[in-house]
Chain A
């Protein structure tokens, strides 16, 4: 079947290749300092992005649902832009905006901050490509949510912050977490925008996917295999926990 062939055959191929080359040699490839640095960088950048996106994404969804926003329809449409725009184009936009030739880039450079071809650029690119995930996960839940509970909490004397933390946030939590998981897995795999914004400087701006690409290009299948397997395992784990999360929230919804 379509799904089976398209997904299982390639995964089977990589597992076979891994078994053939032996676990020991794969372990050696992963322990290579450059590979480890790339993996660590990917994980760290994705974590930073998720922390920022969880806050800003929830705030954006909140504002779009609850507050009177000028041009709400347009804003709502523009949220999906990162899904529509090719990642390569995203990378180039960031280079134009923050690159050495731009006004902003020069401003940052004066203060000793480099964005493009450095790590802040990676975070910016990740923020851009994953922006819709949290917003689109939280938005429908907020739309369905009644304001009664919040008003009750407020009339009972809870402050604004307390109401949000104790009443709104627990309801939104599953949606926020699933948005975070989706953006995390997307960020770990992101390639197009990063290779343009951050380039391919080993130990500094080389993320896992770029490292894998480099190894493939230079014909080093073993090196590519190691990190690919690690990324695959992480993807499986994220997907697995996401399924678990969805099942759980569905069960809660059923008992309500």
Chain B
């Protein structure tokens, strides 16, 4: 009898294999067409221009300023998200308070809301016509069409990443170890640094890499809020768009390729942190 079952499974496997290979081929072809072809397209398009042209546009003051803006925005949003995101996740997982369930279900909202709508909401909130905007204006703080607004827009769209990654880890981790640490005389900061942080390390890392990727790539929300003023509020993605609509293809494609290369680097980090997180 065992022999027979073996034969049946073998037959099943053999019959499976033709269809299986066909399916694999179809999936690979689809993947290549949808994802790989476009990637190859942009590389080829960029290198139709000479190296000097590419380097020239990348080194123009406006481009450098745009990349610089993106860098600062990304660093700021990473710092804020790491600190406040971790605190939020700690509060959400460790404390009970009124409206917690509502708050938790709202964490995902920024992913569901269109970036353009997000930017629009910020304009309504802080714009020159709004109450808050006029109050801030009177203390000479400009939010909309300036850096604070761009940072707020970036924070809005990236807020869920860190919280969503470490919240389940904190829940699964429980409080026993933290309590033992506290009983053994560790203060709050020591407990956090020695006990909590090591357990959420890779989840946090994964959340941060996703935050970086999104901060660099964000376009809609930042465009609406910043007004894309050259050398002032223009980020790298806004610069790419600006050059593209101005038919300055050499500039647009070299900046786009530069961004794509950065994304590849980030992709590696995403993979790495995700794998470590699973361990």
Contact = CB atoms under 8 A, between A and B. Distances in A.
Interface string B104-128: 0111111111111111111111000
A169 B31 CA distance: 22
A79 to B, nearest CB: 8
Contacts of A182: 111
Q: Which of A2, A11, A182, A196 has the most CB of B within 10 A?
A: A2
B69 to A, nearest CB: 14
Contacts of B38: 90, 93-94, 96-97, 128
Interface string A67-107: 11100000111101111111111101110110000100000
A131 B109 contact: no
B148 interface: no
A62 B23 contact: yes
A192 B120 contact: no
B117 A160 contact: no
Contacts of B264: 84
A78 B20 CA distance: 22
A80 B274 CA distance: 11
Nearest to B105: A243
Given A84-B264, A191-B116, A224-B120, A3 B163 contact: yes
Interface string A223-234: 010001001100
Contacts of B120: 14, 212, 216, 224, 228
Contacts of A240: 105
Binding site of B, secondary structure by majority: helix, strand, loop or mixed?
Answer: helix
Interface stretch (B57-65, B82-90, B175-183): B82-90
Interface string B250-267: 001100100110011011
A194 to B, nearest CB: 10
Contact of B216 (A86, A195, A236, A238): A86
A196 B244 CA distance: 8
Given A84-B270, A102-B41, A191 B109 contact: no
B190 interface: no
A10 B119 CA distance: 9
A31 interface: no
Contact of A92 (B42, B110, B112, B117): B42
B103 interface: yes
A56 B20 CA distance: 15
A120 interface: no
Contacts of B117: 14, 189, 209, 212, 228, 231-232
A189 B115 contact: yes
B112 A151 contact: no
Interface residues of A, number: 80
A172 to B, nearest CB: 15
Nearest to B214: A83
A185 B112 contact: yes
A67 B114 contact: no
Contacts of A60: 27, 30-31
Q: Which of A66, A83, A240 has the most CB of B within 10 A?
A: A83
Nearest to A93: B38
Interface of B: 5, 8-9, 12, 15-16, 19-21, 23-24, 26-28, 30-31, 34-39, 41-42, 44-45, 84-85, 87-88, 91, 103, 105-125, 130, 152, 155-156, 159, 163, 210, 213-214, 216-220, 223-224, 236-237, 240-241, 244, 252-253, 256, 259-260, 263-264, 266-268, 270-271
Interface of A: 1-4, 6-11, 13-14, 16-17, 56, 59-60, 62-63, 66-69, 75-78, 80-90, 92-94, 96-97, 102, 124, 127-128, 131, 151, 154-155, 160, 182, 185-186, 188-192, 195-196, 208-210, 212-213, 216, 221, 224, 228, 231-232, 235-236, 238-240, 242-243
18 contacts: A3-B163, A4-B103, A7-B110, A10-B118, A81-B39, A88-B237, A88-B241, A88-B244, A90-B38, A92-B253, A189-B112, A190-B114, A208-B114, A209-B114, A212-B116, A213-B224, A224-B120, A231-B117
